[in-house]
Amino acid sequence: MCVPALRKLVAYTGEGALLSVQESTQSLTILREESHQSLQAGGWVGRRSPLHCTASGRALLFDSADEEVDFLTRRDIGRSEYGTRTPSDLSTLLERLRNERERGYSVASEEVEIGLTSIGVPVRDSFGTIVGAINVSGPTSRLRAHKEDTGGLLLRTAHTVHQELLKIAAGKAGPLGP
């Protein structure tokens, strides 16, 4: 169910789409659908990224209490190898998370890498627990003007995946869909 969802995101946005999960204090990319653009964002299956300065990472933190966010990001926050737009302290990160939770999606623009923007949303299982995050990543020059539209599309996609998980949990669909 996630591969077709990611393929649709690529078809609608023209950018790469990824599925990530939380692994300890990092976001781990487990699935990627590439765009057909010649200039595209990096990222590959098996790559680990910090939680505090990536769209997927912050989406994975949406349900975390402030103390848990502190624990999960303490090792990485404030490190100099991240971009100047990266939250450099806990209070900045928590404020950014509050705004993103209200909006429903996270935006990491030029935080991990200059020229890269990612927009992410959490994916919830049948119990409403965050089990992953999907995001669209691409050059800032292309995504900057489409952040809100892409965020809305991601929210609808995450809702569709959640509905499929509910069907599977209820025994109304097989693991490949209805």
**73-108 pLDDT, tens per residue?**
999 998 767 777 899 999 999 999 999 999 999 999
Low pLDDT (below 70) residues in the chain: 1, 35-43, 45, 80, 173-178
Cα–Cα distance, 124 to 130 (Å, whole number): 4
Q: How far apart are the first and last CA of the chain?
A: 10
The reply to whether 96 falls in a domain is: yes
Q: In which domain, by residue range, is 109 found? A: 2-169
Average pLDDT over the chain reads: 88
pTM exceeds 0.85, yes or no: yes
Cα–Cα distance, 42 to 2 (Å, whole number): 20
Angle value at C-alpha 82, between 102 and 38, nearest 5 degrees: 85
The reply to whether 178 falls in a domain is: no
Task: Mark 116-151 as b/e (b = at least 16 C-beta within 10 Å).
Answer: bbbbbbbbbeeeeebbbbbbbbbebebbeebbeebb
Indicate the number of domains in the chain.
1
Which residue type occupies 166?
Answer: L
Spatial strand order in the sheet of 106-109: 48-50, 26-33, 16-23, 130-139, 116-124, 106-109
Q: Which of 138, 3, 131, 134 is nearest to 56 (CA)?
A: 134
The reply to whether 160 falls in a domain is: yes
Backbone angles phi, psi at 72, to 5 degrees: -75, -25
The reply to whether 175 falls in a domain is: no
**Residue-level pLDDT at 176:** 47
The reply to whether 59 falls in a domain is: yes
CATH number, domain containing residue 41: 3.30.450.40
**Residue-level pLDDT at 64:** 97
**Residue-level pLDDT at 177:** 45
